[in-house]
Chains A and B, each alone.
Chain A
Amino acid sequence: MHIVVCVKQVPDTKIIKINPKTNTLDRRSAPAILNPYDAHAVQAAVSIREKTGGTISVLSMGPPQATAVIKKSIEIGADRGFLISDRAFAGADTLATSYALSKALEKINKEMPVDMIICGKHAIDGDTGQVGPGIARRMDIPPVTNVIEVSEVNLEEKTVLIKRKLSNGYELIQAELPCLLTVEKEINQIEYSPMPNMIKAARYEPVIWAVSDFENVDRSQLGLKGSPTIVGKMFTPPRPEGGKKIEGSVDEQVNQLMDILMEKKDVLTLQSSK
């Protein structure tokens, strides 16, 4: 079983600071991390490999610093990693990203046939969730998004059983291999990395490819040039007037609030207390 996990380096939105003057993100304040959903994707691959054996490759597109997320993936348990890094990839939207990644996947597939691709549900910086299904279409394999469990992998029949989260519940899907999954956080818990993984990760040097390493690549589909969507304008949303401020001492404030709420008492369900 050969699983490829696509991992992205993103700024940590939990720590990120907003510059109150310009109302924009202070990028210097944001440490770069492995997209949390992708960490779950790598962990999911590790759990599958425990049952089936095989190899886990990780693939990332990004600047040279993105080797850090490949090392992190090795720590979680991946066997090897590939980074595609080239000026020509810069400024890619989801369409151009899935194109570039699919070129790398074709190359990986030639050398060792891929049985499954796993992506995160979305990347926390753009949060579109569009890259996974895009890759699946380009590789002509079925995508299954929002996966919360991989319950069975049958290598003889070449099928997997998957639970896919829906708006109100889940569905049980059987998919043929190869297929592409995008995973939710609840699929697993990230375990502490065993020591040998840490040592391996520290020394690991991923394979780095540039555009010139690919065959049959249409450069017009890469990066900014290959991106149909563009940012037209940025704006602060029209500020609603804002409402009334309830002034006074704390008790006065609470009393006024009670008056307002009592006008709406028909929507409240007051529980009788003993």
Chain B
Amino acid sequence: MNFDEYRGVWIFIEQNDGKIEGVSLELLGAGRKLADKLQVPLGGFLLGSGIKPLAKQVIAYGADEVYMVDHPVLKQYRTESYMQGVMLLVEKYKPEIILYGATPNGKDLASAVATDLVTGLTADTTMLDVDVDSRLLEASRPAFGGNIMATILCKKHRPQMATVRPKVMKALEPDSGKVGKIIEESIDLKEENMRTKVLQIVNDVTKKANLAEAHVIVCGGKGMGDVQNFQILYELADTIGATVGGTRDVVEAGWLPHELQIGQTGETVTPKIYFAIALSGAIQHVVGMKNSDLIIAINKDPNAPVFDVATYGIVGDALEIVPKLIQQFKQLQSEKGGEVSYAREI
């Protein structure tokens, strides 16, 4: 394998119904830094049907080049058709690095493509860098085993690939004046050759979207003791207009449904205010919340790792502090005759 043939950083632009997923724009931001360091172009590649209007947006968010495969069979995501498109592009243009959002479709596609390309794929990355001399992608993720991160490398194969967690990288401010190159490839796909069919797509935004979009989150941990005590977090959340989430231990204990788990194997969130209550702050949890604007931690143990990421920390008993906090808010409201109602900032 001649490594010098492989040049450029590529981002998989995931689109659904003609709308680009947020994580793809975040990855263009992260990819821009890597491409600048390596002094190579940043490419975005997208597949679908009728997707040409999206190219401008991909460029505005940082890409120098947009690679497109537009075909009716690609209308809905399917592993078998999408991977054919990706293989075609990658084998022809040979990027050295490819990043995908760690969404259901992004992970599915990347896993299939890595197998056919016979190359390495790092899952659920939360930190990215590149070593300029060796041109190696340094993809880091929480390691199984304590509060440590592992950097995964792929030395002997190209392209180097990783899936990256949504909401941990930052998108650039779009620049609508930016110019870029658009490259289109045609593909020969036939619906009758497809072994899977998407019959229906059902959007059910009720459950989880509120965590992802919440401005204020009250997240509780196993230290709440039991499911009864956990209920006071709902009371706090109701009082201030917040959404409740939990750690994996809380979900495993059955106090909350999995949709409300925050962290590496749950949701990544970036609210304006994050209450981390009676949770230790394990690395797998922290990667899902550390980009919140204001983090308030309440924990009995002064050495709990959560205090390292908290903006403000209170060493104390949550079962004592939270009820008092609720009471204060309630009192404030009654003093103002129940008129204190603030509109949410968008």
Contacts and interface: CB of A to CB of B under 8 A. Distances in A.
Interface string A125-153: 11111111110111001111110000000
Given A127-B124, A244-B313, A14 B252 contact: yes
B240 interface: yes
A273 B338 contact: yes
B253 to A, nearest CB: 9
A267 B213 CA distance: 13
Nearest to B324: A254
Contact of B249 (A14, A93, A141, A265): A14
* Consensus secondary structure, chain B interface: mixed
* Consensus secondary structure, chain A interface: mixed
Interface in B306-321: 307-317, 320-321
Contacts of B311: 243-244
A258 B325 contact: yes
Nearest to B238: A271
A25 B325 contact: no
A269 B239 CA distance: 8
A229 to B, nearest CB: 4
A213 interface: no
A127 to B, nearest CB: 6
A13 interface: yes
B232 interface: no
A173 B146 contact: no
A131 B296 CA distance: 38
B70 to A, nearest CB: 21
Interface string B83-126: 10000000000000000000111011011101110111111100
A24 B108 CA distance: 30
Contacts, number: 289
Contacts of A179: 195-196
B320 to A, nearest CB: 6
Interface in B103-161: 103-105, 107-108, 110-112, 114-116, 118-124, 127, 136, 138, 140, 143-157
B104 A166 contact: yes
A52 to B, nearest CB: 19
A268 B239 CA distance: 9
A95 B195 contact: no
B209 to A, nearest CB: 6
A231 interface: yes
Given A130-B107, A254-B328, A258-B325, A228 B151 contact: no
Interface of B: 76, 78-80, 83, 103-105, 107-108, 110-112, 114-116, 118-124, 127, 136, 138, 140, 143-157, 195-205, 208-209, 215-216, 238-242, 249, 252, 258, 264-265, 272-273, 282-283, 290, 294-296, 307-317, 320-321, 324-325, 328-330, 332-334, 338-345
24 contacts: A13-B144, A94-B114, A94-B123, A133-B108, A134-B115, A142-B78, A171-B198, A173-B197, A185-B258, A227-B120, A230-B154, A230-B155, A234-B143, A240-B308, A242-B310, A243-B307, A245-B314, A253-B321, A254-B324, A254-B328, A257-B321, A269-B241, A269-B343, A272-B341
